[in-house]
Amino acid sequence: MKTILAYRFSAFGDVAMTVPVCVEFLEQNPDVQIIFISRDNFKDLFDRHPRLIFKGISFDDYKGVFGIRKLTRQLRREFKPDYVADLHDVIRTKMVNSIFKRHRYKVFKINKGKEEKEKLTNVWNLDKKPLKRTVERYADVFRKMGFPLELSHKLRPQTDEKCGVGFAPFAQHKGKMMPMEKSFELARVLAKSHKIYFFGGGKEEDEILRKWESQIPNTLSLSGKLSLKEELQKISELETMISMDSANMHLASLMGTRCVSVWGSTHHFAGFLGYGQSEDDIVHVKDLSCRPCSVFGDKECFRGDYACLEELNIQKIIDKI
């Protein structure tokens, strides 16, 4: 049995995207196991395959250069991997990589396509072309090791009985989130014909969604009420999830649930569409030449008016539901 030590320490959605890739890799390579290292609170994402073994860490225990050395030493001694897969490629993982290499481990890292993405998000570039999907970039790391891997890009529903519509109206950055009044109106209209479940996190989001629940019949806020495991189970039972370009889109993919995704300053051309999700279920303002102006939605609006979200017609979302 070969052992691959893989790591990604970043945002929730980015880590969630690695899981279907790892699962399909293990199905196609039965003589391999993956030890996945990431943040403690991501554990329930990885309960998908017996040879996908999760080890959670807290960087409070591994601060600075000496902390990285300590972490790498522990990983070497505990797992003795045959291959090391860096699915993140940031300063912290570069340090881990260099220590592994110094001890003659075979280290392979992701090509994130930074230059391509910079060109894509240049507002003066009018020749926008789709880039390689992020899940394929993850898969390339395993292919470089010499293993076969063909991704299906298909959803895998976890249950046959699905009902209700999930709605996750929030995102980490303003450039990825519909104005609240549009989201409220969308929920109000859809709740006339569907049971709507609100998803969010954090005190401020909890308060907003509780208020919406009290104002809109046939809705229920789950924000702050469920553990990650319980939230994943509920998402697996939904007919459809409505999400911004955010982690909830990737959680829907993980649980085999269709997602209607809303994109503002970001664009699926950058490669972050949820695994197995259809481009037909993307909702965005198509005729803005400045889109995308950001890979992650964290940049200030070039025009200053966030037209990519302010001009978005919620009827487009309703029609897809």
Is there a single domain that holds both residue 67 and residue 122? Answer: yes
Is there a single domain that holds both residue 90 and residue 206? Answer: no
Please state, in angstroms and rounded to a whole number, the distance separating the CA atoms of residues 162 and 239: 5
Contact 36, 47 (CB under 8 A): no
Phi, psi (rounded to 5 degrees) for 115? -65, -40
Is there a single domain that holds both residue 91 and residue 202? Answer: no
Crossing angle of helices 228-236 and 247-254, in 10° steps, is 70
Q: What is the pLDDT of residue 123?
A: 87
The model's pLDDT over 80-103, given as tens digits with 9 standing for 90+, comes to 999 999 999 999 999 999 999 999
Q: What is the pLDDT of residue 203?
A: 87
9 Cβ neighbours under 8 A, 6+ residues apart: 15, 37, 38, 39, 59, 88, 90, 92, 93
- Whether residue 174 lies inside any domain: the answer is yes
pLDDT of 154 > 90? The answer is yes
At residue 217, the 3 state secondary structure works out as coil
Please state, in angstroms and rounded to a whole number, the distance separating the CA atoms of residues 172 and 280: 24
pLDDT band at 160 (very low <50, low <70, confident <90, very high): confident
Nearest to 15 by CA among 40, 51, 49, 50: 40
Q: Which helix (H) or strand (E) element contains residue 101?
A: helix 91-102
Residue ending a domain, among 145, 179, 196, is 145
Is there a single domain that holds both residue 87 and residue 26? Answer: yes
Please state, in angstroms and rounded to a whole number, the distance separating the CA atoms of residues 7 and 138: 11
Mean pLDDT, residues 283-290 taken together: 92
Is there a single domain that holds both residue 26 and residue 117? Answer: yes
Name the H helices within 103-246: 114-120, 134-144, 180-190, 203-215, 228-236
Q: Among residues of the chain, what percentage have pLDDT more than 90? A: 87
* Residue-range definition of the domain harbouring residue 72: 2-145
Q: What is the pLDDT of residue 302?
A: 85
181 Cβ neighbours under 8 A, 6+ residues apart: none
**Which tokens sit at 237?**
């039972």
The model's pLDDT over 114-147, given as tens digits with 9 standing for 90+, comes to 999 999 999 888 889 999 999 999 999 999 999 9
Please state, in angstroms and rounded to a whole number, the distance separating the CA atoms of residues 217 and 219: 6
Mean pLDDT, residues 198-209 taken together: 92
Q: What is the pLDDT of residue 44?
A: 95
pLDDT of 282 > 90? The answer is yes
Is there a single domain that holds both residue 262 and residue 296? Answer: yes
- Whether residue 151 lies inside any domain: the answer is no
Residue ending a domain, among 145, 178, 201, is 145
Mean pLDDT, residues 293-314 taken together: 92
Nearest to 166 by CA among 143, 131, 206, 196: 196
Is there a single domain that holds both residue 204 and residue 116? Answer: no
Q: What is the pLDDT of residue 125?
A: 86
- Whether residue 114 lies inside any domain: the answer is yes
- Whether residue 90 lies inside any domain: the answer is yes
Is there a single domain that holds both residue 65 and residue 187? Answer: no
Number of domains within the chain: 2
Q: What is the pLDDT of residue 291?
A: 93
pLDDT of 201 > 90? The answer is no
The model's pLDDT over 205-226, given as tens digits with 9 standing for 90+, comes to 999 999 999 999 999 999 999 9
Contact 257, 234 (CB under 8 A): no
Is there a single domain that holds both residue 192 and residue 304? Answer: yes
Q: What is the pLDDT of residue 94?
A: 94
Contact 210, 198 (CB under 8 A): no
Is there a single domain that holds both residue 200 and residue 274? Answer: yes
The model's pLDDT over 4-62, given as tens digits with 9 standing for 90+, comes to 999 999 888 999 999 999 999 999 999 999 999 999 999 999 999 999 999 999 988 88
Please state, in angstroms and rounded to a whole number, the distance separating the CA atoms of residues 287 and 277: 22
- Whether residue 160 lies inside any domain: the answer is no
Is there a single domain that holds both residue 173 and residue 309? Answer: yes
- Whether residue 154 lies inside any domain: the answer is no
The answer to pTM > 0.85 is yes
CATH number at residue 248: 3.40.50.2000
Is there a single domain that holds both residue 174 and residue 311? Answer: yes
- Whether residue 159 lies inside any domain: the answer is no
**Which tokens sit at 167?**
């709605």
